[in-house]
């Protein structure tokens, strides 16, 4: 440990990372600026520490000078899943810390790493779909069986074996992780209907095609040579890095009938286009199961909304049977961090199928990261956003928060409102409009995407800016037409509601302006930033603006969303609207 290191590890497993340090003069004294304030510079080990901590800890706060991280069981188990060891994690902490690492933290890290895979599920016989819960430590097995929630899910045999049926597999894993034991599921997978999925060497448009090294690495890490050591889990890659191509690579390796779940009908169509463009499958092999068409094919693409639709709140989910009535060999969960809670139930029954989750962030706003971990699988592959940016695979991005004052006429109304209405009043602040107009003018000639939460606000902006608007009520054919116009440049400015957050392919969008968002959602920030990160044909970068009302709930939630950007290594510039350059 060195006093000038940037990290402090505390006994509650929180960690404080200094982003800057004092500038020292030649006499060893802190330097001051012309106004007598201490001068600072970026800490020379900040970036290194940030990248190492991201592998095994969760970022909680990111003010300008001091970032706060926390080590959790899930963060450690995900680290273990990609090969990190307790010794490696502790070594990183000791190497970066300016004070001794508390012994209880070291002990907990070692205990959590030890627990990963301490319990495992294995098939009794290759030809039988019954399973045993095993442990390399008989005392641990006896301990977990002391919990009634575990005992009721298994059959304890006279010879001491602990058995379970195929429909109990997922539910048992859920119950065990709740008491602190992640299960290494080596029960294997039911073979789906065979489907040869060859990769093209050229796309239909004649462009050379092949998986990038990291895409191939992600597909192979998931597949694990077809063994029980792989076949379930999550690949974490930035928006624009080609997660769809990773899935296509996995489909090629698995070679079985595939069900793909994604976020909306536009995404369904884009998935279908990508699959036909990059594989040898024929159009009749790839079906769409949506409100517009219900076609079950060897590869079928549907939406979460379709699966969770029901006539009333107490009715059955009418389309859940799509999971069970076909012999799928692979289920792909696009944007797995958005997986609706009802789908967890059916996913618990799908443990015999290979399950691939795709996401840009493992953070879930509902705190159900443990459900993703045990039902979809652990993190299998992860590449930091800034690494891919440095390699030219995603566009470099500048993130700017522009703060505007609350319109004077709204101050009294804002003061009297409850918390929820305070957020909406601040989000729809009319003072944002001239700033947006200035940004649009500043980026004239660019592909500008304006994104917001509130339809009234967006409709007003569409009228003032004379720009088309896409909302949840926009018919799919019209959405596709507007997206196509944006791509070809005939529509340089497009306004979208939160439907634009998910799985839309706008490779030439190079400016995004967020005028309002959800309550501090890091998921949403990931998706919105991702709209401008796809590599540009001219190699240029992108700019992501958030217009925020100063000293209001809008700013409070913006600070939470900023966590995601900091987590990925992006600098976050803050400007007052009065100092915003016009050119």
DSSP annotation string for 34-60: TTSPBPEEE-TTHHHHHHHHTTT-EEE
**Claim to verify: residue 222 and residue 324 sit in the same structural domain:** yes
Structure confidence at residue 266 (pLDDT)? 82
**CATH number of the domain where residue 404 is located:** 3.40.50.300
Q: Which two tokens stand for residue 513?
A: 């302006």
**Claim to verify: residue 109 and residue 124 sit in the same structural domain:** no
Structure confidence at residue 532 (pLDDT)? 61
Q: How far apart are the first and last CA of the chain?
A: 47
Instruction: Write down the pTM of the prediction.
Output: 0.79
Phi, psi dihedral angles at 523 (to 5 degrees): -55, -50
**Claim to verify: residue 415 and residue 338 sit in the same structural domain:** no
Please check whether residue 194 lies inside any domain of the structure. Answer: no
Q: Which two tokens stand for residue 15?
A: 């960690």
**Claim to verify: residue 273 and residue 394 sit in the same structural domain:** no
Work out whether the CA dihedral 493, 497, 501, 502 comes out positive or negative: negative
Last residue of a domain, one of 327, 355, 383: 383
Please check whether residue 199 lies inside any domain of the structure. Answer: no
**CATH number of the domain where residue 123 is located:** 3.40.1170
**Claim to verify: residue 445 and residue 524 sit in the same structural domain:** yes
Strands (E), 50-142: 58-61, 66-70, 119-123, 131-135
Last residue of a domain, one of 353, 383, 413: 383
Q: Which two tokens stand for residue 160?
A: 């001491």
Please state the length of the chain.
Answer: 583
**pLDDT tens sequence across 204-228:** 888 999 999 999 999 999 999 999 8
Domain range for 175 = 119-186
Please check whether residue 452 lies inside any domain of the structure. Answer: yes
**pLDDT tens sequence across 271-280:** 999 999 999 9
Please check whether residue 376 lies inside any domain of the structure. Answer: yes
Please check whether residue 191 lies inside any domain of the structure. Answer: no
Please check whether residue 316 lies inside any domain of the structure. Answer: yes
Query: Is 6 within 8 Å of 17 (Cβ atoms)?
Result: yes
Cβ within 8 Å of residue 126, ≥6 positions away: none
Last residue of a domain, one of 368, 383, 398: 383
β-partners of residue 262 are: 303
Q: Is 33 exposed, middle or buried (0-12, 13-18, 19+ CB in 10 A)?
A: exposed
**Claim to verify: residue 246 and residue 274 sit in the same structural domain:** yes
**Claim to verify: residue 274 and residue 409 sit in the same structural domain:** no
Helix (H) or strand (E) holding 15: strand 14-18
**Claim to verify: residue 373 and residue 397 sit in the same structural domain:** no
Q: Which two tokens stand for residue 276?
A: 């036909």
Please check whether residue 334 lies inside any domain of the structure. Answer: yes
**pLDDT < 50 regions, the chain:** 503, 520
**Claim to verify: residue 260 and residue 136 sit in the same structural domain:** no
Q: How far apart are CA 531 and CA 549, in angstroms?
A: 23
Structure confidence at residue 573 (pLDDT)? 82
Dihedral of the alpha carbons of 342, 345, 351, 352, in degrees to the nearest 10: -90
**Claim to verify: residue 418 and residue 567 sit in the same structural domain:** yes
Domain count, the chain: 4
Please check whether residue 208 lies inside any domain of the structure. Answer: no
Buried b (16+ CB within 10 A) or exposed e, 385-421: bbebbeeebbbbbebbbbbbebbeebeeebeebeeee
**Claim to verify: residue 138 and residue 243 sit in the same structural domain:** no
**Claim to verify: residue 500 and residue 548 sit in the same structural domain:** yes
């Amino acid at each position: 440990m060195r006093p000038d290191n940037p990290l402090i590890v505390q006994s509650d497993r929180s960690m404080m990372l200094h982003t800057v340090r004092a500038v020292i003069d030649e006499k060893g004294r802190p330097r001051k600026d012309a106004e007598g304030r201490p001068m600072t510079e970026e800490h020379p080990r900040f970036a290194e520490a940030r990248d190492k901590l991201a592998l095994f800890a969760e970022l909680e706060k990111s003010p300008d000078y001091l970032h706060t991280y926390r080590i959790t069981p899930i963060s450690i188990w995900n680290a273990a899943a990609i090969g990190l060891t307790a010794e490696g994690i502790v070594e990183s902490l000791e190497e970066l810390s300016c004070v001794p690492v508390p012994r209880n933290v070291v002990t907990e890290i070692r205990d959590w790493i030890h627990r990963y895979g301490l319990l495992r599920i294995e098939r009794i016989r290759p030809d039988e779909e019954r399973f045993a819960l095993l442990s390399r430590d008989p005392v641990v097995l006896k301990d977990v069986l002391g919990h009634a929630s575990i005992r009721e899910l298994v059959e304890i045999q006279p010879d001491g074996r602990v058995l379970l049926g195929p429909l109990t597999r997922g539910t048992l894993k859920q119950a065990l992780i709740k008491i602190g034991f992640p299960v290494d599921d080596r029960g294997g997978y039911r073979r789906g209907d065979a489907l040869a999925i060859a990769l093209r060497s050229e796309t239909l448009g004649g462009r050379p095609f092949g998986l990038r090294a990291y895409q191939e690495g992600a597909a192979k890490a998931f597949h694990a040579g077809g063994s029980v050591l792989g076949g379930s889990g999550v690949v974490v890659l930035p928006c624009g890095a080609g997660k769809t191509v990773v899935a296509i690579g996995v489909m090629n390796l698995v070679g079985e009938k595939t069900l793909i779940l994604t976020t909306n009908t536009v995404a369904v169509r884009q998935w279908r286009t990508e699959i036909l463009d990059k594989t040898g499958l024929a159009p009749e092999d790839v079906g769409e199961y949506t409100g517009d068409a219900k076609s079950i094919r060897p590869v079928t693409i549907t939406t979460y909304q379709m699966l969770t639709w029901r006539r009333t709140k107490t009715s059955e989910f009418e389309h859940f049977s799509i999971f069970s009535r076909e012999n799928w060999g692979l289920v792909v969960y696009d944007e797995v961090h958005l997986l609706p809670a009802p789908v967890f139930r059916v996913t618990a029954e799908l443990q015999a199928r290979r399950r691939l989750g795709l996401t840009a962030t493992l953070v879930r706003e509902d705190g159900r990261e443990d459900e993703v971990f045990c039902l979809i699988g652990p993190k299998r592959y992860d590449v930091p956003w800034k690494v891919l940016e440095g390699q030219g695979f995603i566009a470099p991005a500048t993130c700017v928060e522009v703060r505007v004052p609350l319109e004077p006429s709204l101050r009294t109304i804002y003061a009297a409102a409850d918390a929820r209405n305070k957020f909406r009043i601040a989000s729809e602040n009319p003072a944002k409009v001239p700033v947006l107009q200035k940004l649009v003018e500043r980026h004239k000639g660019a592909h500008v995407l304006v994104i917001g939460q509130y339809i009234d606000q967006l409709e007003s902006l569409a009228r003032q800016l004379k720009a088309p608007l896409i909302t949840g009520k926009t018919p799919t054919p019209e959405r596709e037409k507007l997206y196509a116009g944006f791509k070809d440049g005939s529509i340089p400015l497009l306004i979208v509601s939160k439907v634009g957050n998910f799985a839309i392919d706008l490779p030439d969008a190079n400016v995004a302006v967020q005028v309002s968002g959800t309550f501090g959602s890091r998921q949403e920030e990931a998706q919105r930033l991702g709209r401008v990160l796809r590599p540009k044909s001219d190699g240029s970068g992108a700019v992501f603006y958030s217009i925020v009302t100063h000293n209001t709930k809008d700013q409070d939630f913006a600070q939470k969303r900023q966590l995601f950007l900091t987590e990925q290594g992006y600098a976050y510039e803050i400007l007052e609207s009065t100092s915003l350059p016009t050119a």
